[in-house]
Amino acid sequence: MLRRTFIASAVLLATAAAAPSAFAFTEGKDADYITLEKPLAGGEGKIVKVWSYDCPFCFKFDVGVDPKAIPAAEKATGLKFDMYHLETKGKYGRAGTELFAWCMLRDKAAGVTDWEDPKSLFKKAKDAIYLAYHRKGERWTAGEEAFLKTGLDVIGAKPEEFAAARKTPEVQALADSWKPCYDVAKIQGIPAYVVNGKYLIMTKSIRSVQGFVDLITELSKK
């Protein structure tokens, strides 16, 4: 009887050791995440990435982390990935915000809601501007028109087409809806990932793709 009890206890301990801890992640600015004092508008049911075209770390995550982590996190949590462009960063921050908002609206009208879909106009414009800035050293010293041309050319759009579209209430509304992300960016910089509009992941705590996915999954249950 004693032997059977010992074996049962050993199995139970082994199982507990192998299982992930329900308290594997801790809250605090020097820990894994914090709870936002003011929830991020529109962030419920989402994994939101706050980013800027001229942020080198945003670009590195876009290339090396997001393609692996985000699909896995979406599958594990049922949350939808979204991206809020930070208009206060970069010489052409607002222009970029309006361009990306327009591309997203056109994507949605075409039934494309995955921002990593090769057919996504948003992805094409984002990638073109990212690569020009971070890989080719482009700074568009000729002005905003040159900046926009980088994104417009790759999606086959004319400057005059965007000039009219950017003034529409739809584009302005989506672009303006991202403004609250500035308050998130002030906390630790960007990229910033917010889960369910409430929990800001401290990016310095991310040690692996799987750890990132696990943290998002854990926060989605809170």
Q: pLDDT tens digits for 182-201?
A: 999 999 999 999 999 999 99
What's the average model confidence in pLDDT over 159-179? Answer: 98
> Is-above-0.85 flag for pTM?
yes
% residues pLDDT > 90 (the chain): 89
Any idea which of 24-28, 76-80, 127-131 has the lowest mean pLDDT? 24-28
Q: How far apart are CA 202 and CA 193, in angstroms?
A: 8
Question: How far is it, in rounded angstroms, from Cα 192 to Cα 185?
Answer: 7
21 pLDDT higher than 80:
no
User: Which among 181, 211, 219, 220 has a CA at the least distance from the CA of 58?
Assistant: 181
Could you please state the CATH topology (level 3) that the domain comprising 93-177 is classified under: Glutaredoxin (3.40.30)
| Rounded-to-integer distance, Cα 213 and Cα 158, Å | 39
Which residues are CB-contacts of 152 (< 8 A; sequence separation ≥ 6)?
99, 125, 158, 159, 162
**pLDDT value for 96:** 98
CATH 3.40.30.10 fits 25-86+179-222, yes or no: yes
Q: Per-domain residue ranges for the chain? A: 25-86+179-222, 93-177
Q: What is the DSSP string of the chain?
A: -HHHHHHHHHHHHHHHHHSPPTT-S-BSTTSSEEE-SSPPTT-TTEEEEEE-TT-HHHHHHHHHTHHHHHHHHHHHH-PEEEEEE-TTSSTTHHHHHHHHHHHHHHHHHTT---TT-TT-HHHHHHHHHHHHHHTS----TT-HHHHHHHHHHHHT--HHHHHHHTTSHHHHHHHHHTTTHHHHHHHH-SSEEEETTTEEE-GGG--SHHHHHHHHHHHHT-
Give the model's confidence band at 24: pLDDT under 50 very low, under 70 low, under 90 confident, else very high: confident
Closest CA to 152 of 122, 178, 131, 109: 122
Q: Report the alpha-carbon distance of residue 137 to residue 130 in Å, rounded.
A: 10
How many Å apart are CA 131 and CA 121, to the nearest integer? 15
In this prediction, residue 117 carries a pLDDT of 96
Residue pair 62/51 in contact by the 8 Å Cβ criterion: yes
Question: 19-33, 144-158, 173-187: lowest mean pLDDT where?
Answer: 19-33
25-86+179-222 and 93-177 have identical folds: yes
For 98-140, write each residue's pLDDT tens digit: 999 999 999 999 999 999 999 999 999 999 999 999 999 999 9
Between 18-32, 57-71, 158-172, the lowest mean confidence (pLDDT) is in 18-32
Query: Using 50, 70 and 90 to split pLDDT, how confident is the model at 59?
Result: very high
Report how far apart, in Å, the C-alpha atoms of 78 and of each of 39, 142, 176 are.
Answer: 19, 44, 26
Alpha carbons within 13 angstroms on the beta-carbon side of residue 178 total 26
Tell me the average pLDDT across 84-89.
98
Residue 13 has pLDDT above 60, yes or no: no
What's the average model confidence in pLDDT over 64-90?
98
* pLDDT number for residue 8: 36
